[in-house]
Copies of this chain bind each other. A is one copy, B any other.
Amino acid sequence: MPYPPEHKARTRARIVEAARKLFNRYGFELVSIDQIMAAAGLTRGGFYHHFDSKDTLYAAAVTSFAETNPYRRALESGPPLTPREMARALVDVYLGDAVFGDIDNHCPLYALPGDVARAGQSPQRAYTDLARRMMAVYENALRENMPAPQAQARAQALVSLCVGGMLLARTTDDPALRGSLREASRQQALALLEAR
C-alpha cells in the first residue's frame, strides 16, 4: 500500500466537490474535465483513476449534494425540531436570501434539471432520491393534520412550489421578480403547511 487507504478517497471527494460547484454554476456540458481537475488542484490525466467517464461524475455530484447539503446542516445544527418546525425551516432556508446568493450551494433540483434529464439513468436516480428526501420532510409535517394520501399529494405540490420558485428566480433577468417570486413562493408554501 504505497499511499494510505484514505488518500484516494479524499482526492476523489475533492474532485466531486469541485465538480458539484462548477456544475451548479455552469451545467454539465459547459464544464470541462480540465476545469474540474484544476479546481481540485490536479491535472487532467488523473481523472480516469477515479471515474470511468465524465458521465459517472454527474451522479456522484448530485448524490454528494444530498449528503453534504447546507439545508441539512442548517436543520440539524440547532436543537432538535419537530416535523412541523423542520418543514417550516426548510421552506425558509430553501427560498431564503442566503442560499440564493450562494450559487455553489444551490440545490440540483433547480440548478441541474435539464442536464440531469439528458445525462441518463444514474444522475436521474440521484435526482429523484433528492426530490423524495425533500418530499419526506414536508410529508412528515403534514401527516399531523391530514390523512396520508393527502399529505403525500400536498408534499409533492410543496416541493414543486419551492423548486419552481427558485428556478424561475434564478433564470429571470428582472431583479425585482427574482425577489418577489421567492417571497411569494415562500409565503404560499408556509400557508400550505398550516392549512386545513
Contact = CB atoms under 8 A, between A and B. Distances in A.
B165 A157 contact: yes
Question: Assembly of this chain: how many copies?
Answer: 2
Interface string A165-196: 10110111110010011011101110010000
A160 B168 contact: yes
A117 to B, nearest CB: 5
A164 interface: yes
Please tell me the size bucket of the interface on A.
35 or more
A109 B154 CA distance: 22
Contact of A124 (B153, B173, B184): B173
B30 A187 contact: no
Nearest to A23: B114
B159 A161 contact: no
Contact of A153 (B30, B121, B184): B184
Contacts of A157: 161, 165, 184-185, 187-189
A60 interface: no
Nearest to A153: B184
A26 interface: yes
7 contacts: A27-B29, A27-B115, A111-B114, A113-B170, A113-B171, A152-B184, A163-B164
